[in-house]
């Protein structure tokens, strides 16, 4: 049986920007678009990983949402997402 342990390696520094735009195209149709640019790296590590990016952290994310409302009070929505490779 393996023992699950956690060993702190140092601090994680995050710097980036988030943008979002909302639009009501018609009284029934609305959209939301968003984008995130993020840079993460280790700082002050105890294991020599200063400046390296933590595992599985994307540099950018984007999404586009659409929402439509029908007469009967029923509505539908859909989203498309993009997640970049980690850098």
pLDDT in tens, 18-75: 999 999 999 999 999 999 999 888 888 877 778 777 778 889 999 999 999 999 889 9
If pLDDT is split at 50, 70 and 90, which confidence band does 2 have?
low
pLDDT score of 75: 97
CA separation for the pair 7, 63 (Å, rounded): 34
pLDDT score of 18: 97
Host domain of residue 48: 11-83
Is 75 within a domain? yes
67 alpha carbon, distance to own chain's centre: 20
pTM of the model: 0.73
Domain count within the chain: 1
pLDDT score of 70: 95
pLDDT at 6 over 90: no
pLDDT score of 30: 97
Three-state helix/strand/coil letters over the chain? CCCCCCCCCCEEEEEEEEEEEEEECCCCEEEEEEEEEEEEEEECCCCCCCCCCCCCCECEEEEEEEEEECCCCCEEEEEEEEECCEC
Is 6 within a domain? no
Is 48 within a domain? yes
């Amino acid at each position: 049986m393996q023992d699950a342990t956690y060993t702190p390696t140092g601090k994680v520094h995050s710097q980036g920007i988030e943008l979002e735009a909302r639009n009501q195209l018609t009284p029934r149709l609305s959209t939301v678009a968003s984008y995130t640019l993020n840079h993460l790296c280790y700082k002050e590590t105890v294991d020599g990983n200063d400046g390296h990016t933590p595992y599985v952290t994307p540099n950018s994310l984007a999404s586009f949402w659409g929402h439509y409302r029908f007469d009967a009070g029923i509505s539908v929505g859909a989203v498309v997402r993009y997640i970049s490779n980690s850098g």
